Chain A
Amino acid sequence: MVQDSQTSVATVSASQTTATAVRGLETKNVHAWFGKHHVLSDVSLQFPERTVTGLIGPSGCGKSTFIRLLNRMHEFIPSAAMAGQVLQDGQDIYAPDVDAAAIRLKIGMVFQKPNPFPAMNIRENVLSGIKLAHLKVADHDAIVESCLTRAGLWKEVKDRLTATGGSLSGGQQQRLCIARSLAVEPNVLLMDEPCSALDPGSTLRIEETIKELAEKIAVVIVTHNMQQAARVSDFCAFFLTDGGPGYLVEADATKKLFTNPRDTRTADYVQGKFG
């Protein structure tokens, strides 16, 4: 989880993953550019299975760019460039023979703005990933129910699965998007400020969902909400920029980062003194 071998993290990781390799995601010396503009510098982090990692830091410090690097969404921006390695279960996802679409299938993403497909109803939205990626699935109904249940939406929509996604409230739409990501059974779920447009009630539901997801997969969440980071994440990484490229200040177990950080800038940020 941490750039240097931090004892607290290392023990947690070891106890949760298989002994041999780091299962989950790992970045090594990752940089990012847009054109000539260097936006992210030298980030090395680990995101083991069955953990929630919060990425925190002020706006413009490269968190979103970083999270988009983790499932190769970064490359859709025409001027984008990167350096370093992103390893999934030890395999570099940027290796030349790797199929980006297959990577995104295994590393799902939930966006800041809920974006259900408008031409599909609720049920079709949940199954859209399966259809889009041409997956063979035996029981569609079971998938719809289990994904919506895991996203905490089943009870609210089970009687109107044929309604359009747009007829749901913002919080429900975001949970629908989470259900949609879960249907293709990713190993990692990336969430880019998933609750920033939602009310506290919906936020709470999604946080519960995140905790349940973390029993199986790795979750990485970008958030501007310190309380949220403290509530849902096991580990936290603090990003900062001094006007140049964003960089990682420190990463640690959430509890330690919030109570006893190594860097004074981290302490100032988590205590709300700036940012």
Chain B
Amino acid sequence: MSTVVSNPQSQPVAPQPTTPWKPTRKTQFTGAFSIAVVAIASFAIVLLTGLAGIDGFGLTFLVVFFGATFVRTKRLNPKARKDAMVGVAICAASVLAFFPWMSIFVSVVVKGAKGLQPNFLIENMQLTTPDDELNMGGAAHAIIGSLMMVLIAAAITLPLGILSGVYLTEIRGRLTFLVRFVVQSMSGVPSIVAGLFIYTTFVNYTNSFSGMAGSLALAVLMLPTVARTAEEVMKLVPDDLRSASYALGARQWRTSLMVILPTVRSGLTTAGILGIARVIGETAPLLLTSLSNNSYVFNPIGGPIGSLPTYVFGLLQIGTENSINRAWTGSLVLMLLVLVLFLIARYFGGKANR
């Protein structure tokens, strides 16, 4: 008995919480240390040899890192060694994939920051020539025009896109195949063709370029993105919920409206954001539909209207130093606009989910 009952005087050490499945401090440190060593070594090689620039450094780093990992893992078993080597390869591939995005982002921010002054956001180009100093004039008219057109386009496409999603996943009518086919082929329409379509119809008919024409062209491009995303998120709703709703005596329409759509609310927000992000930078269709303007236009059917992409496009064509700087700032504001719209949509769209 005495061997079984633990001796009260030799209290066992209180157990400490540990995480044996995670890398220890030591391995983390050696990992970081080896990367630093590799970086220094490759930097030294770059200095000593003819290789130069960030691409030369990157290439050297990769080669040295591969070599170092190969040597370092010599004593490990073949599986662990393979794991380490593949790990390096995957890291390199993700950096490679990340690089273009980083490059675009950084250059837009760096080159655009110069012109991002208060006047850029509150003034227009009516009394300013593109060549004037950057503390004069701005893109307020273009921001307003872009926002107006994108929001009108969203107001047209969101209901249509969601309805087609409902048709494809909930109603599954006889035309399902046709609707899906049309949506898919629409997503392949080149943006200039969408612009031409509105040009030959709406612009021709109203005999005027306008914000509404621009919105319609953007809507044509936005619809397939919204519809497909809406369909995808509604497909993810488990059939359990549909059964539950029908078993309560609900009709199909009310099931879709009150059970399915609220359940995928955040997914539909994503659909809207993807659609907006798809079209907000479109230039070609706008050149054929809304044209551009240097002054404020608040009326969507009141003639040509400014927008950020056409603003950037116009300034780039002029090609002087100040105009190109303005164009970069325009691109930066365009990016920030997507970010702001994204945050607004996330705030309202994500609210429903706890």
Contact = CB atoms under 8 A, between A and B. Distances in A.
Same complex for A and B? Answer yes
Nearest to B257: A132
A161 B252 CA distance: 27
Interface string B221-265: 000000000000000001011111111111100110011001101
A37 B251 CA distance: 29
A102 B247 CA distance: 10
A121 to B, nearest CB: 10
A76 to B, nearest CB: 7
A111 B243 contact: yes
Interface residues of A, number: 29
B352 interface: yes
B240 A118 contact: no
A149 to B, nearest CB: 19
A133 B247 contact: no
A21 interface: no
Contact of B250 (A71, A73, A111, A132): A132
Contact of B258 (A104, A118, A132, A164): A132
A256 interface: no
Contacts of A132: 245, 248-250, 254-255, 258-259
B241 A115 contact: yes
A117 interface: yes
A117 B263 contact: yes
Contacts of B240: 111, 113, 115
A104 B248 CA distance: 6
Contacts of A71: 247
A69 to B, nearest CB: 13
A71 B244 CA distance: 12
Given A104-B248, A129-B250, 12 more contacts: A71-B247, A101-B249, A113-B240, A115-B238, A115-B241, A117-B259, A118-B241, A132-B255, A133-B248, A164-B354, A177-B244, A180-B244
A133 B352 CA distance: 23
Nearest to B249: A105
B251 to A, nearest CB: 5
B286 to A, nearest CB: 37
Nearest to A131: B258
Contact of B262 (A104, A119, A177, A181): A119
Interface in B308-322: none
Interface of B: 238, 240-251, 254-255, 258-259, 262-263, 265, 352-354
Nearest to A115: B240
Nearest to B237: A118
Contact of B246 (A76, A106, A164): A76
Contacts of B259: 117, 119, 128, 132
Contact of A104 (B249, B263, B353): B249
Interface in A97-126: 101-106, 108-109, 111, 113, 115, 117-120
Q: For the complex, would chain B's binding face be called helix, strand, loop or mixed by DSSP majority?
A: helix
Nearest to B247: A109
Contacts of A136: none
Interface of A: 71, 73, 76, 101-106, 108-109, 111, 113, 115, 117-120, 128-129, 131-134, 164, 177, 180-181, 184
Given A118-B263, A131-B258, A132-B255, A104 B246 contact: yes
Contact of B248 (A76, A113, A118, A129): A129
Contact of B244 (A101, A103, A117): A117
B258 A129 contact: no
A73 B248 contact: no
A133 B263 contact: no
Contacts of B254: 132-134
29 contacts: A73-B243, A76-B243, A101-B250, A104-B246, A104-B247, A105-B248, A105-B249, A106-B249, A108-B248, A109-B243, A111-B240, A111-B244, A113-B240, A115-B238, A115-B241, A117-B259, A118-B241, A118-B263, A119-B265, A119-B352, A129-B248, A129-B250, A132-B248, A132-B254, A132-B255, A132-B258, A133-B254, A134-B254, A180-B244
Contacts of A76: 242-243, 246
B262 A115 contact: no
A134 B257 CA distance: 13
Given A120-B262, A132-B254, A115 B244 contact: yes
Nearest to A100: B246
Contacts of B249: 101-106, 129, 132-133, 184
A108 B247 contact: yes
A117 to B, nearest CB: 6
Nearest to A163: B354
Nearest to A166: B354
A102 B255 CA distance: 14
B248 A181 contact: yes
Contacts of A180: 244, 248
Given A133-B248, A184-B249, A115 B265 contact: no
Nearest to A103: B249
